[in-house]
Structure 1
Amino acid sequence: MLAIHNVGQPATEARLVPRERVVPERIVKPGGPAQREFVSAFTLPRTGAALFQLVADRIDSRSTLTHEPEVTARLRDEARSRVNEHFDTFTKGDVLVEQGQAIGEEQLILLRMEHEAAQSARSLGERAGRAVGILGLVAALFLLTGYYVFWHEPRIAGHLWHITTVCGLVVLCLLVVRLLANQTWNAEVMPVAIAAMILAIAYSPHFALMASFGLSLLTCMTLGSGISYFLVVMGGTAAGALALNDVRTRTKLIKVGATAALGYLLLTWAAGLWEHQSIELVRSDGLWRAGWGLMAGFFLGGSLPFLENAFGIVTGISLLELGDITHPLLQELVRRAPGTHNHSITVGAIAEAAAERIGANALLVRIGAYFHDIGKMLKPHYFVENQVGSTSRHANLAPAMSTLIIIGHVKDGVDLGRQHHLPEPIIDLIEQHHGTTLVEYFFHEANRRSGANPDGSTVHESAFRYPGPKPQTREAAILMMADSVESASRTLSEPTPSRIEGLVSALIDKRLRDGQFDECGLTLREIAEIRECLIKSLIGIYHGRVKYPEQRTA
């Protein structure tokens, strides 16, 4: 309906008329829609055009009506207010949508209204029962997760910050899922995939698999979805999380996103065929979910530095960047303490092989070995590997003072690491690689001098021990063993395989009896495998070579 009046009349004379009774001026102009429609009715277009022109010449080309938009809106509102509302009533048993009928906007609104009416019609007891059921499921899920974390994820269970970040991530994921709900592009799978991948990077793929189950279940409860949707979300998310075993390149994250995308796509098709959905709907849902799974990988690649800071973790990408020889600390170590640097490189090589043998973080051990003795660069010539000449700097020092210098390299290394913003896992390796072991040479020297002096005071063993802590992780324990056996092997005049084997076994057994491995989680089987691997590596380093004719000594 349009409000119009004759040209020359005031706007108050406007009246509502049907739109189809008003011919816009542009339609009857030459070349307009009216002419084209008129001409198309004739077999000979020229005849039709001539007749139209004959009629058009006799029509007044001036406008005869004026349209009033504001009056049109007011009169429409008044007409609408005079119409009584009409409601369709449906009773129990009535068919809302016939089977096989295409669901348009009207049918969709009707179904949503029926669902809302059914929800509001529930009694207080039914609502309370549903709430109790949901709380019970959530409580059971959290208890199961808590049990798993307590026994299998000590890094989370023992730190309030890690517990807080994990819980916050879960809550944030569910909030984003709720915001993205009821959209046609299935974007709610993306926050679930991102959350699971973050947990896989921060902790372990196995914990991420456990979290994927919980997140998928909570997502289905939030959206009110069925078992097929749960399987789709769970399967695709788990595929991406389990692929995150070791992140050393950013392209790995894109591959992980592609793995999740493939999982979403295949499971969407499987669920759709199972539920007899239309091919068009299955294709659309599958492509949307696959796209969001791939986007999750790209998102992680860009946000990885922020995730490392938030969760206090270090990824393979960051470790490889730290291991670059151009790092300022490593360059300074080469200049000030070349012997220590050479020792660190060797320790890193043999420790990495041992870590790979038992499934520990080999890259973390190797890079940690590069930095574990950086504290020695402050007093390099007090350490035998940097000593120039046959005279030792400790010759004129008391054993207690020499011990303080030796022990001090750990604290100095931690301070240097923090000044250069090394990740906490690397600093932990620096701090723990000697544990609470005894500085035996100077302890025995102090006892010898005390025994030779009748007035000598009692030598306390605690004064000659490193302050610790003992190794808290498998990686720290491996570094301790590799560091000690590499240093001791340099003292062998003839490093034969049997002597190397005896030396390594004796040193590791001494650390074991001293309780240095009590807090790191290593098993006796793993210690035996580490011992075997270290022996093999050292024999390879000190292998015999064929003498050349002009060579007197090897």
Structure 2
Amino acid sequence: MNANGTQKRTRQQRVAAVELAPGLWRTLWANLQRGGVLLRMGLAAAAALFLWAFTQSWDPPFQYHENEIPQRDLVARTDFEQPDPKATEEAKERARKLAIAVFHQDPEPLEQLRAQLIGEITKLLATKTWDEVDSNLWAQFQPQQAAGTPDPTDEERAEQFQRFQEAFSEDGAIDKFSEQLAGVMAPLEQWGLLEPLPSEWGANFEKIEIRSKTSESFGAQRAVSEVLVENAAAKLQLSLKEKIGSLELAQKVFAWLRPRLAPTLVQDLDATHAAQDAMAAAEPEKTKPFRSGVDVLAPAGKPLTDEAIELLRLEYVQQRNDRTFPQRLRRSVSILGMFVALYTLCGTYIYTREPKLLHELLRLVALLSLVVLVVVFAHIINQYNPGVDVIPLLLCGMTLAIAYNQELSLLISACVALIIVLTNGHDFPQALVLMATTAGAILVLKQVRTRSKLLTVGFTAAAVGFLTTLGVGTLYGRPWPLLLEEGGLLAVWSIIAGALMTVLLPTVEKVFNVQTDLSLFELGDPAHPLLQELIRRAPGTYNHSITVASLAENAAEAIGARGLLVRVGAYYHDIGKMLKPGYFIENQGQGDNRHDALMPAMSTLVIIAHVKDGADLARQNKIPEAIIDFIQEHHGTTLVEYFYRQASEQREKEDPDGGEVDESSFRYPGPRPQTREAGVLMLSDAVESASRVLKEPTPSRIESLVEDLSMKRLLDGQFDESGLTLEEVHKIGESLVKSLTAKYHGRVKYPDQVIA
């Protein structure tokens, strides 16, 4: 037990109480267990998996493009076949000619012919004597005489007619003959008659398909020779001789029928064409084989033509189809491992140099979305026009340079270029040209102060890309005409990228919550409605803001910060005072101080409220968040010293034993300055306000004032989160001293003028 009554610890307890700071791996493991970290890692993993799936990274990309000059003969690395359109068309044409044509058969003409024959025979039988016979009708039943055979005499004709009548003399002879004739002509009525096919016939010459006229269903196939009129007539003649007992009668009947036998089959053109199309469609595609290690697909030293590209793409497709699952798995692991390495590289830089990017989830999502969109568009464009993928890469680099800084833009653009090169199949010279062109655009894009700046960046990138194309191409022995063409195209795409960036600039500012110098000029216009309202309501505050803007801009430029951003932020930093302008000293007249009637705590609330009121006014008028940050941070969590002292003195008089006044009630709500620019504005605002009360603002007094205020802010921890170093704080102080000294410089006192 010591003199104060507390238990004294042993040596072992003191040793055990010493805890060392956690090591790297322990810190890493602790961070991985945080939900926010896991969410951000999940988003990064999702972006990598999406790009892996979209670019089909489990297979190597197609590596060749038109006009590329191979250094060696490109020999087939696998067996594949090339479709042969000409041979395929010839085979389909042959198939069309083998298709069986479709005909419709109408038996009605033959049925009518048969009925007509029975009627003519009935007329002849109705004649009783030879002299009454119609000679013309009888002549139709006379067979054609052989050459050199004399014509029959009248007596012979009479005898022939008598025999004709005797053949039908029995009862029912006509009906019997009709049945025999129907049986003989049945095949003709069923299958029909066809005239000889023309020599240019486009279908099968040997068979046809015969369908009934009343039915659209499939019919039966018959040989063409069986339904030709000549062949069918010959079969009819034989059938008549077999079925009819009298040879002479059979000849006379055939003599009457033969001239009247006409084609009855009508071609169905639609059905025939459909059959031809079906035969052509069933014909397999003809191909030309290429053997691995034997056939040359493209010779060395000559630009790749469309035909060579087609062969190489067919070979690529076959190789891709032949890849096994283990091969695809190995490549997928390699690609995803590359993503992990790039994430580690970029994440380490962002964690150490741009931590706000990781802390603000929306900004991280915007960055990942930008990378994904750039790779997706580059992959799509490369499939249709290789080389144009430089446009999305340039847009990515310029966007990141505008939204963040050149270092981060160079790093991420290089990583994105590597992804594009691997997924699009570019070779090393192309990769070098892409990275050099993008780097050229980023290095000249520091500030966007004019609308022509991005076009200038585009032209600069065009020059870098053109010269790099010539240099790299020359090293690899490519011909100059081709290099000039490729370099010229790359220059055109670079200029187009600069023009597109000019159009996309407002969208970039909105998505990434960043203000370019161009938009800052618009915000800093004194004609802005919010500034005009500040002039009308609180002219003293406006003059104070203008003075602070001048001081802060010079101080920011002294440390390499964005002077224009600080100047515009200073214009708006006190706009909240316009709601209660009479409570602020710069707007009060002589002897008019409204705080005399208020308690110190109430006065403090009124003074502090101008920060929140200013932020609300800015949001209501759609002022960017970058400017609102100045409004909220320009006082940080500093103490309202005047009213705090007043409250302390009042407490001491009223209640000496009441203790100290709660200091937290007299502090601004913050937050503290989060950027170097906000820190500059805080110090400039404090120095400008304090310098107004100096009775004799000599350089030494100004310097002492600036030093005291700087030290107070440092000791109060107001700059701890701004990123300002002690050296930069010192430079800011020197700049403020120079500016204030120039403002309050001594003037020559002139003698009184003599009035004439």
TM-score category of the 2 structures, normalised to the smaller one: 0.7 to 0.9
Match of 1:151 among 352, 357, 363: 352
Distance 1:94 1:159 in 2: 58
SS in 1 for 2:382: coil
Aligned to 1:126: 327
Write out per-residue CA displacement over residues 144-175 of structure 1, whole angstroms, 9 at most, x where no aligned residue.
Answer: 01111111112312111111110111111111
Structure 2 counterparts to residues 21-420 of structure 1, below 5 A: 85-101=286-302, 103-184=304-385, 186-420=387-621
Distance 2:201 2:480 in 1: 48
> Contact 1:375 / 1:416 at 8 angstroms: preserved in 2?
yes
Aligned to 1:501: 703
Gap regions ≥5 residues in structure 2: 1-89, 97-194, 203-268
> Contact 1:202 / 1:313 at 8 angstroms: preserved in 2?
yes
> Contact 1:471 / 1:477 at 8 angstroms: preserved in 2?
yes
SS in 2 for 1:88: strand
Distance 2:345 2:403 in 1: 20
The structural deviation recorded for 1:259 is: 1.4
Identify the range of structure 1 (150-159 vs 453-462) with the bigger mean alpha-carbon deviation: 453-462
Question: Could you say if the C-alpha distance between residues 104 and 383 of structure 1 is closer, same or farther in structure 2, counting changes exceeding 3 Å?
Answer: closer
The structural deviation recorded for 1:317 is: 1.2
**Is 1:534–2:743 an aligned residue pair?**
no
The structural deviation recorded for 1:76 is: 9.3
> Contact 1:354 / 1:530 at 8 angstroms: preserved in 2?
yes
Distance 1:79 1:101 in 2: 39
Identify the range of structure 1 (275-284 vs 240-249) with the bigger mean alpha-carbon deviation: 275-284
Aligned to 2:222: none
Write out per-residue CA displacement over residues 443-481 of structure 1, whole angstroms, 9 at most, x where no aligned residue.
Answer: 111111111113785421111111111111111110000
Aligned to 2:713: 511
Aligned to 1:32: none
Aligned to 1:46: none
Distance 1:532 1:296 in 2: 43
In structure 1, give the amino acid aligned to 2:722. Answer: C
Write out per-residue CA displacement over residues 276-300 of structure 1, whole angstroms, 9 at most, x where no aligned residue.
Answer: 2233332222122211111111111
> Contact 1:436 / 1:467 at 8 angstroms: preserved in 2?
yes
Question: Could you say if the C-alpha distance between residues 16 and 167 of structure 1 is closer, same or farther in structure 2, counting changes exceeding 3 Å?
Answer: farther
Aligned to 1:51: none
Question: Could you say if the C-alpha distance between residues 15 and 205 of structure 1 is closer, same or farther in structure 2, counting changes exceeding 3 Å?
Answer: farther
Question: Could you say if the C-alpha distance between residues 103 and 307 of structure 1 is closer, same or farther in structure 2, counting changes exceeding 3 Å?
Answer: closer
Write out per-residue CA displacement over residues 501-536 of structure 1, whole angstroms, 9 at most, x where no aligned residue.
Answer: 011101111111111111111100101111111101
The structural deviation recorded for 1:90 is: 1.6
Structure 2 counterparts to residues 462-501 of structure 1, below 5 A: 462-501=664-703
Distance 1:264 1:517 in 2: 43
In structure 1, give the amino acid aligned to 2:626. Answer: P
The structural deviation recorded for 1:420 is: 0.7
SS in 1 for 2:717: coil
The structural deviation recorded for 1:306 is: 1.5
> Contact 1:16 / 1:72 at 8 angstroms: preserved in 2?
no
In structure 2, give the amino acid aligned to 1:544. Answer: G
Write out per-residue CA displacement over residues 348-397 of structure 1, whole angstroms, 9 at most, x where no aligned residue.
Answer: 00100010011111111000000101111111111111111223111121
Identify the range of structure 1 (130-139 vs 180-189) with the bigger mean alpha-carbon deviation: 180-189
Question: Could you say if the C-alpha distance between residues 73 and 415 of structure 1 is closer, same or farther in structure 2, counting changes exceeding 3 Å?
Answer: same
> Contact 1:185 / 1:288 at 8 angstroms: preserved in 2?
no
Work out the percentage of aligned pairs sharing the same amino acid: 47
In structure 1, give the amino acid aligned to 2:410. Answer: L
Number of residue pairs the alignment of both structures matches: 494
> Contact 1:170 / 1:215 at 8 angstroms: preserved in 2?
yes
> Contact 1:316 / 1:363 at 8 angstroms: preserved in 2?
yes
Question: Could you say if the C-alpha distance between residues 16 and 442 of structure 1 is closer, same or farther in structure 2, counting changes exceeding 3 Å?
Answer: farther
Distance 1:415 1:457 in 2: 38
Question: Could you say if the C-alpha distance between residues 166 and 546 of structure 1 is closer, same or farther in structure 2, counting changes exceeding 3 Å?
Answer: same
In structure 1, give the amino acid aligned to 2:535. Answer: V
Aligned to 2:86: none
**Is 1:550–2:752 an aligned residue pair?**
yes
**Is 1:438–2:645 an aligned residue pair?**
no
Gap regions ≥5 residues in structure 1: 4-9, 18-67
Identify the range of structure 1 (278-287 vs 418-427) with the bigger mean alpha-carbon deviation: 278-287
> Contact 1:340 / 1:373 at 8 angstroms: preserved in 2?
yes
Identify the range of structure 1 (205-214 vs 112-121) with the bigger mean alpha-carbon deviation: 112-121
In structure 2, give the amino acid aligned to 1:337. Answer: A
Question: Could you say if the C-alpha distance between residues 14 and 247 of structure 1 is closer, same or farther in structure 2, counting changes exceeding 3 Å?
Answer: farther
> Contact 1:185 / 1:285 at 8 angstroms: preserved in 2?
no
In structure 1, give the amino acid aligned to 2:726. Answer: L
In structure 1, give the amino acid aligned to 2:668. Answer: Y
> Contact 1:347 / 1:369 at 8 angstroms: preserved in 2?
yes
SS in 1 for 2:637: coil
Distance 1:517 1:109 in 2: 64
Larger radius of gyration: 2
The structural deviation recorded for 1:123 is: 4.1
Q: TM-score, normalised by structure 2?
A: 0.62
Distance 2:629 2:303 in 1: 64
> Contact 1:439 / 1:464 at 8 angstroms: preserved in 2?
yes
Aligned to 1:428: 629
Question: Could you say if the C-alpha distance between residues 92 and 487 of structure 1 is closer, same or farther in structure 2, counting changes exceeding 3 Å?
Answer: same
Q: C-alpha root-mean-square deviation of aligned residues, in Å?
A: 2.6
Write out per-residue CA displacement over residues 46-101 of structure 1, whole angstroms, 9 at most, x where no aligned residue.
Answer: xxxxxxxxxxxxxxxxxxxxxx9x99999799679779824333232443333345
Question: Could you say if the C-alpha distance between residues 360 and 73 of structure 1 is closer, same or farther in structure 2, counting changes exceeding 3 Å?
Answer: farther
The structural deviation recorded for 1:130 is: 2.1
In structure 2, give the amino acid aligned to 1:316. Answer: D
Q: TM-score, normalised by structure 1?
A: 0.84
SS in 1 for 2:297: coil
